[in-house]
């Protein structure tokens, strides 16, 4: 049995995120003997580790000698380091002295001396670690490695629970478990300008401003305070939008398909902030009353669906779409299942500029990219077109939005009478989606030894 040591801290200053995500990651070490090495800092959540029945070694400092002693006493095979206070030199010395396998969690593209590096964030790109890690380091980067507690997966399967009642909206607010910038109350004051919004504020006992917050909300029926809740995914799923920090929480928010505003509160959020800003999400580099009020107004007015022509995408968006298209869960439903290169992808997009028989769009909802729709063999004379569709592979539950966008654009912009789709016979989710919108089976043909169903939808108004 492998002996695995997790090194992370939590406190009112550090926050609770490192420990919380490690408690998700640790579940993937099925056959290991798990020990946590952590300090007993003010406002820590070491009780969360104890609740999971993992052994704890309390450190008096972040001194390497203390850690080496634990590694030797417990014959540690692998150490998982999730700590901004442990750097390349520390890791290199640890490796040289103990020869332990080093597994590092990183959020900020720092230099590391490790065997495995994990960056779970949406923006994570393994290319960025060139010359930052040893050549033999195994890199695990991006949304495919997202750490999600079971509660999020369960809630995701239920679908979005908000009712989209504009007269009674719910907002999910989490400024980190510790809210070290003390922004909860300031945000709540801004929300007083929106009498139709009920605020669900999620925090923990690690919040050094908790007493102040409790006093503020005591007589306010439009605010519910959730302390140390185990229902975060449920509260999030029942919210119309969220106000969060550009931290790992954003990974969960995007997974749950909740519109959001992100307010940067720390330097270690720079990468996520830049990524969200480049993708046109609603973000604030610093808290500002006027700016936050404006962002909320924009978000509430921005529920319409936006179709962005591929020609108008920036390079990052074109790369993002290519990543979706080459993802195994998307590619398997394509007639051409080969991986498309970036050069070929960009060349194809350029060729669309002069084509009248093809249109490709990135579909966004509340500035969030949710999928791609394309129209091919557009026949204006006979008023018909074929179409294709695929989603952002980390999202679920957006099929209806995409289908409504397809029908609206085809019938109202292209002004066709007939919509045509070719679907693999075993692509049951797509077939069921089309049938909900009254598509009819026309015929079945064999393409490359696979049965393909031809489905059509007629515009009864043309």
18 assigned to active site = yes
Radius of gyration of the chain (CA): 25
Helix then strand count (H, E) for the chain reads: 16, 20
Residue 161 near residue 237 (C-beta atoms within 8 A): yes
Strand order in the sheet with 260-263: 223-227, 197-203, 169-174, 241-244, 260-263, 282-284
Beta bridge partners of 387: 375
Counting every residue written for the chain, the total comes to 462
Structure token pair of residue 174? 């989490």
Residue 367 near residue 282 (C-beta atoms within 8 A): yes
Distance CA 114, CA 239 (A): 40
Structure token pair of residue 28? 């993937």
DSSP H or E segment with residue 426: none
Specify the DSSP class assigned to residue 411.
Answer: I
Select which of 18, 113, 180, 345 is catalytic.
18
Longest dimension (CA), the chain: 79
Q: Which residues are catalytic?
A: 18
């Amino acid at each position: 049995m492998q002996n695995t040591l997790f090194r992370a801290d939590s406190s009112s200053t550090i926050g609770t995120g490192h420990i919380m995500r490690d408690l998700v990651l640790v579940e993937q070490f099925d056959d290991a003997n798990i020990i946590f090495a952590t300090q007993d800092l003010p406002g820590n959540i070491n009780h969360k580790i104890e609740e999971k029945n993992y052994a704890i070694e309390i450190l008096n400092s972040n001194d390497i000698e203390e850690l080496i002693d634990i590694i030797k006493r417990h014959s540690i095979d692998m150490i998982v380091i999730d700590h901004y206070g442990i750097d390349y030199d520390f890791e290199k010395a640890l490796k040289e002295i103990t020869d332990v396998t080093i597994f590092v969690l990183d959020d900020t593209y720092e230099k590391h001396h490790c065997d495995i590096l994990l960056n779970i964030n949406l923006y994570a790109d393994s290319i960025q670690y060139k010359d930052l890690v040893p050549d033999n380091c195994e890199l695990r980067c991006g949304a495919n490695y997202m750490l999600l507690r079971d509660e999020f997966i369960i809630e995701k399967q239920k679908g979005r629970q908000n009712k989209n009642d504009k007269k009674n909206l719910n907002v999910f607010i989490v400024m980190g478990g510790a809210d070290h910038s003390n922004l909860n109350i300031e945000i709540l004051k801004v929300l007083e300008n929106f009498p139709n919004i009920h605020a669900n504020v999620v925090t923990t006992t690690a919040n050094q401003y908790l007493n102040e917050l409790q006093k503020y909300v005591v007589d306010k029926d439009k605010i519910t305070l959730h302390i140390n809740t185990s229902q975060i995914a449920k509260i999030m799923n029942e919210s119309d939008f969220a106000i969060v920090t550009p931290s790992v929480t954003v990974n969960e928010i995007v997974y749950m398909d909740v519109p959001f505003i992100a307010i940067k509160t720390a330097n270690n959020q720079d990468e996520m902030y830049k990524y969200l800003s480049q993708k046109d999400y609603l973000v604030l580099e610093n808290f500002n009353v006027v700016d936050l009020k404006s962002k909320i107004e924009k978000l509430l007015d921005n529920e319409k669906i936006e179709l962005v022509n591929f020609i108008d995408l920036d390079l990052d968006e074109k790369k993002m779409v290519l990543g979706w298209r080459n993802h195994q869960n998307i590619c398997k439903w394509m007639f051409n299942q080969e991986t498309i290169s970036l050069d070929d992808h960009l060349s194809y997009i350029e060729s669309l500029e002069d084509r009248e028989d093809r249109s490709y769009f990135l579909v966004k909802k509340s500035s969030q990219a949710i999928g791609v729709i394309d129209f091919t063999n557009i026949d204006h004379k006979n008023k018909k077109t074929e179409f294709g569709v695929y989603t952002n592979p980390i999202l679920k539950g957006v099929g209806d939005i995409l289908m409504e966008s397809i029908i609206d654009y085809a019938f109202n912009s292209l002004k066709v009478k007939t919509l045509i789709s070719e679907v693999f016979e075993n692509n049951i989710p797509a077939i069921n989606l089309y049938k909900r919108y009254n598509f009819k089976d026309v015929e079945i043909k064999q393409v490359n030894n696979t049965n393909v169903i031809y489905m059509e939808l007629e515009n009864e108004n043309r």
